[in-house]
Amino acid sequence: MRILGIDPGLRAMGWGVIESSGSRLSHVANGVCQSDGDDLGERLLSLHNQLSEIILAYSPDQAAIEQTFVNKDGAGTLKLGQARGVALLTLARAGLPVGEYAPNRVKKTVVGVGHAEKEQVQHMVKLQLPGCRPKNADAADALAIAICHAFYGNAPTSRMREVGT
């Protein structure tokens, strides 16, 4: 099974593609979709177009995305939600079943601790996907989300919501 992981962000949306065969995982590709400019609509369209190209290039069977967490910056949370919405729409248009995971669940699955630092996530992604060189922290997080889905994504329903952290 080929899994596309998405770490949503408005300026930088991390993505990672892995292969999962039983308990064996392997790295396929990773990167970051960048959106520049001031016009929100154009930035969201840019993310959609880039993500669509990734789906065409790597033909994933399933996708996984990080759930939005609410932080103190309400405007930042709203922008993150808009980028996440574009990603979900793009995945739905491609007909991909999507798993959604809380950040703490992803970290606990990959690192073993729910409040792991970004450096720990990057390190464990490299260990679990030998030869993988994430482009940056966003790409490493996206690969971690894909790894989490490889462990939890075989639920009987195609649209899986994470319950708890």
Express each pLDDT in 75-130 by its tens digit: 878 888 899 999 999 999 999 999 999 999 999 999 998 888 889 999 999 999 99
| Euclidean distance between CA atoms 131 and 151, whole angstroms | 20
What's the pTM?
Answer: 0.90
**Binding site residues for Mg(2+), as ranges?**
7, 66, 138
Answer for the pair 14, 32: CB distance below 8 angstroms, yes or no.
yes
Pick the catalytic residue: 66, 100, 141, 162? 66
- Identified catalytic residue from 19, 42, 138, 141: 138
Cα(27)–Cα(131) distance, rounded to whole angstroms?
Answer: 8
Rg (CA), the chain: 15
Structural domains present in the chain: 2-152 (3.30.420.10)
Question: By the 8 A CB rule, do 9 and 138 touch?
Answer: yes
Residue 71 has pLDDT above 80, yes or no: no
Percent of the chain predicted with pLDDT > 70: 91
Tell me if residue 66 is catalytic.
yes
| Residue numbers belonging to the annotated binding site | 7, 66, 138
pLDDT value, residue 160: 43
